[in-house]
């Protein structure tokens, strides 16, 4: 691959990522509101023993966040400790975390070398389902935070035994960067193979 191609790809990635990050910063709140029903549905699956009392946006330390308040509808035993029905748990996560996925995936799609410019919008559209799936990061983090609370109260030394906590720590520990970097090339490869297998593979117009 020519150095010029690499430079152009890097420049396109930087510009696209910067533009998407700016849009996310200024328009995150209304989009998160639209996604709240999806978040709620996912949390019902992840937290079947809880009733979701509140799920919505709020400001924490001058940053937008999604907050959750949930109440146990039945008793639950965690590491031998009984949490009675009616026990309430609160958790929150910054909405900025969810934007890592779409920014990285769409920026990679927009800047991938050897793909003709006229085909890149289609490639970005193909990536949208992946972006939507990845934005369900927020319910996973909230699930992990709820599990953290229960396991911490039961035994702080065994907090990592919770699956939700492990998922949360994986995402917070860099997983939310690794996943889109892996998924974006897979989506791009699928696009190249199925849509324009010859032209796109050679960067032809």
Residue with the larger pLDDT of the pair 183 and 200: 183
Kindly state the average pLDDT of the residues 151-176: 85
How many percent of the chain have pLDDT more than 90? Answer: 27
What is the tens place of the pLDDT at every residue in 45-97?
999 999 999 999 888 777 788 999 999 999 999 998 999 999 999 999 888 77
- The number of residues making up the chain comes to 205
Structure confidence at residue 131 (pLDDT)? 73
Domain assignments of the chain as residue spans, ordered by start: 3-45+97-194
Quote the CA–CA distance of 176 and 183 in Å, as a whole number: 11
Structure confidence at residue 143 (pLDDT)? 93
Structure confidence at residue 76 (pLDDT)? 92
Give the chain's mean pLDDT.
82
78: tokens are 């965690």
Quote the CA–CA distance of 10 and 16 in Å, as a whole number: 10
What is the tens place of the pLDDT at every residue in 116-136?
777 778 777 777 777 776 667
Structure confidence at residue 196 (pLDDT)? 59
Structure confidence at residue 198 (pLDDT)? 54
Instruction: Kindly report the three-state secondary structure assignment for every residue of the chain.
Output: CCHHHHHHHHHHHHHHHHHHHHHHHHHHHHHHHHHHHHHHHHHHHHCCCEEEEEEEEEEECCEEEEEEEEEECCCEEECCEEECCCCEEEEEEEHHHHHHHHHHHHHHHHHCCCCCHHHHHHHHHHHHHHHHHHCCHHHHHHHHHHHHHHHHHHCHHHHHHCHHHHHHHHHHHHHHHHHHHHHHHHHHHHHHHHCCCCCCCCCCC
Quote the CA–CA distance of 95 and 55 in Å, as a whole number: 13
45: tokens are 């699956």
């Amino acid at each position: 691959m020519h150095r010029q191609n690499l430079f152009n790809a890097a420049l396109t990635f930087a510009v696209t990522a910067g533009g998407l990050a700016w849009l996310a910063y200024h328009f995150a709140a209304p989009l998160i509101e639209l996604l709240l029903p999806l978040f709620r549905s996912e949390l019902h699956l992840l937290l079947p023993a809880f009733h979701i009392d509140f799920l919505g946006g709020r400001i924490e330390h001058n940053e937008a966040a999604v907050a959750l308040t949930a109440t146990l509808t039945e008793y639950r035993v965690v590491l031998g400790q009984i949490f009675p029905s009616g026990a309430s748990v609160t958790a929150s996560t910054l909405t900025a975390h969810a934007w890592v996925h779409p920014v990285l995936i769409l920026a990679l799609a927009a800047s991938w070398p050897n793909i003709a410019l006229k085909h890149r919008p289609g490639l970005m559209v193909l990536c949208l389902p992946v972006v939507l799936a990845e934005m369900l990061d927020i319910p996973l983090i909230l699930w992990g935070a709820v599990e953290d609370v229960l396991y911490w109260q039961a035994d702080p030394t065994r907090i990592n035994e919770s699956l939700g906590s492990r998922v949360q720590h994986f995402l917070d520990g860099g997983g939310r960067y690794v996943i889109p970097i892996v998924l974006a090339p897979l989506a791009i490869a699928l696009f190249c193979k199925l849509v324009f297998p010859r032209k796109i593979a050679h960067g032809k117009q």
